[in-house]
Structure 1
């Protein structure tokens, strides 16, 4: 009835369900072995796990000296307590931590604040380091970033460091403005504005602003009201929460100005001699030599108002009612005489100059007769009949009968295909004349009309037309005629000479010019000519001489070159034959000599037509009268020897 207690310990070495048996062996005959099942589960070892709500902190831009806070939550997502050993920041000058975390139970969290308070300007970087008992992440580094920006402040600027009021008349004032601008990034406070300096009583100040927002401006007016003459100076003081600004100021007090009028022609304007109907201008200058505006109250003419007048009254670009100091007004006076006499008058100028309120400028001039040119030209010029292709020249005179120079501005020819002008007459003095040559060269038959237009400065006749007439007729042309185109000298004995003539006639209406008569290289022919100029219906002679020096037929060509437009070159052909006869050939009766008996023998044989008589002197294969004539000539030649 006793028992014992066994204690079973479960120490798992692996995670998960684990089973086993407890076996008890005894001497109990009925239950020698008892197996008791053992069951258990191995669980993981408990560990803490750290996690953060942010990975980095960016504080942006923070003004130096001010601070910005950002929070971080530390969580324990493990199953054991999380122990935070330390929380540190690398840059303790510009960052620090508010709050602390020691132990965080599983599922719990703890919050801390990181504060950025920059002490310098510019980009600033650091790290937040958290050390814990998390075996996997014992140390966490969180980047920290921020930028220190300058502390905002106002910046006071003015647009002028010096104000110059120049001249201000005593008893009057002048106002200038200083513009105060805030170029900073904080409000600018205007604490005080005042004038200081030795002459501060001559200046005063008006301000319309106490605070100037950044980027804005305001005007501070300074008034100069001089109480005495001379240069007066002072200082404008502007006190602000940025700095005090000093602006130098200066002005000159001037006594009350007065105008002073002067003219450049106090002794008058003499226009001299001016042609009646024409005009001449002269000017009077009115100057303001004073220090105040000069008022010109009136300008008028007295005396011969019909010939003297006011042309223009002007200064640089405006009228002359008021002249400022040093300005000049130019008054133009026009003199236009209407008769041949002397004229006088006065130019009256009234101003506000107390010392010279009125100026009287004498005016004088003489009207004279204007010299004028007086042109004279014959109105008609006839050239008669002129052959086409030829020309006729005639002279025309342009006379100046006036008292001034005659200017011939233009000479214009119409029908300029048939009429032409030579010469020019630009200027003709009084009582002189100029000659022009007009050429008529007709290009067609019949009456031809044209005109010469003379344009001049003659006031009465500025344009004169001269009628030009002429007739074109057909040109007188030569017409060559040659009496013969062929000259036959027949048969000649060697040593014999024969001369023949041809007549050259001019059947045309113009002179025939025989320019050249020549012979080609022809043996036995020569020419002589008395032909040169052959008048219409006239004639001349050309002699052709045939004097053969060898036997045979001879030919030659005479060439006649002339001005006949249709027959410039004419040729005349010359022919002849030369023979040589021995005495034995014509001794027909064989008596040893050629004489009259042989002639009788030849005639009888010819009449009886006896062919046994061999006589064919001209080689025409027959004996005829020509042979008889040649036979007689041969007998005479024999007798002449």
Structure 2
């Protein structure tokens, strides 16, 4: 068993880490989940994409963490996270820079300075797989939460990533629910209680229904039986009954013909049992109202004596899944002519799908049964974009707007109650609320949030989207924007492309050049300079060499380290009147394991070389403990 890493604050050790100005060692994430976002592209409904791997990597310096869970509640995405709990760690050793390619030493007033880097000597990451299987048409998203335990600080932290994808409906698709109907016992020469068959157009184009027919002994009470068109996401309901003319079992089917190329004909099996009985069960069959997961349904069933003589109810029982009997008549109850009693049933609706049960009443040496059916619709909201929404750099006094799309990406509908407006620098523009959002992506709600920073630096806010989805009413959005002052600015100050095996290419990260002036700005000669310049590459350039006022140009940078060790260079670009730069860093790993993420190393300065020995001793003790623990 691997021992947790313990960091000691030792006197005489000064560690100054070169990173973004607002960051410190303590503020650094202990683990980093990459990529932070991923789009699966467009896929037809019902198909499954190939897997996409997500990496949980240790943060900068020495880390010791345990990934406990990977969770998401998204009907359109699959998560496969095996081997949990899993350790994620990094061990690094301080080395003195000797080749001139390391970060510049920190200035220590009144003393000498040396520059060292913390180079990785051991690393362990954790990978889990994701996939996209769309159930509705349109763009959907999923926030995946990684819960990890920091063994240094003894705290539990949550990290998240956002997955997106676009479902594409086939041109023509029919959906018929339920897939079968069992009416149970029905008195001869009488109609059963109505059952409902729903025909839905689930394709991108109108569905052409050519005919609807039902077998003898069953009847369609309403609805078109000839040719008609059903628009996308529209539903046609058919109430049907069983009308037995003789005692005994009977079967049949409801048949729908359409232009669905995969299912040109859909048949729904029907069954019924004709009986002669003076015990009437109302309704029969018992079709409980369709509900949503988390919203239970209760119903009452009447037992009536339609005969001229008293009857004795020997026993009333119910068997099935998801439906229970909460009250009923006592055993041996006498039921006089024209008298009735009640049975109460409860549908828990704890999960989506159909549930069924059979009520059996034994009386005077006979038995009568009734079929009970229930359906719970799962309810889910997809918001795109979702999770952490970064507006990026925005000039002070200017505005950037982000559009959001909200749909119900499961069968159940819900009410969009409110969207919180946190005020400046963020502004909300939304339709009048509350409003209903239909299931299966039938309704798309659009709203916009604008960011208009009034000062320099990062501003954040949490916006809460509130719905009436059972158990998940509040959905938070984390907003951030970087206010850029007047003039020309390159952002961010530094990008860290992480620790990766040599000769492999990292995921790209963007650098930006913002024009917060009043005139158009020309730029040229984007380049990478420094001792490790050949390990970094610009893989995506702006399409224009001019930036309009309040505009921005972006470049995509990757790292492919050719040798083991820390790497540092500088991205530079010339513009009218000056040169802007962004520090680049990363690390090439040898045969240590797979690593990725930001924060691969930090440049540190101490007052004198001798001050480094406590750090080295602490790392040596850690390595020996790890060796003993793995022995």
Per the TM superposition, whether the score is higher than 0.5 is: no
**Comparing both chains, which one has the higher relative contact order based on Cα–Cα distances under 8 Å and sequence gaps of 6 or more?**
2
TM, length-normalised to structure 1: 0.28
Higher radius of gyration, 1 or 2: 1
TM, length-normalised to structure 2: 0.28
